[in-house]
Amino acid sequence: MVVKRIEVCQYELVDPEPCCPPLLDGPLDEAEATELAAVLKALADPARVRLVSMVACSPTGEICACDLPGALDRSQPTVSHHLSQLVRAGILDREQRGKWAWFRLRPQRLASLRVALGEGGTRADRARAVAMRTD
């Protein structure tokens, strides 16, 4: 018999605040540009992109921080710094389990980033993303 642990957060389907307003719907103001730049900056490092890829490709959808220094060929403090940046940007979720931290991708954050960049959604999707920010 296989027992699979079901996390409540697996059922979180909608991010109440999209990360950023769509670029293609009009010029961004200073605050919107700063918010979008922060998310893009978090993904602008090859090590962070690899970390996101490792978490996303994990068979369980999550990965223990203890496995990442060896897989990334970086020191534990460096990996911890990169993970903190990704959590701060809302790209990964962190859950402490005893001694170790486990990380899970926030797919809704990446989906809202795709919409902000004009991909993965129609003009109506981008309009909804803006409307959700103003609610």
Identify the architecture of domain 27-105 in CATH. Answer: Orthogonal Bundle (1.10)
C-alpha torsion sign, points 59, 10, 133, 24: positive
pLDDT tens per residue, range 71-82: 999 999 999 999
At position 7, the amino acid (one-letter code) is E
Question: Domain map of the chain by residue range?
Answer: 27-105
Sign of the C-alpha dihedral computed for residues 100, 105, 106 and 109 taken in this order: positive
pLDDT in tens, 20-33: 666 666 787 888 88
pLDDT class of 92 with cuts at 50, 70, 90: very high
pTM of the entire structure? 0.69
Q: Which amino acid is at 45?
A: D
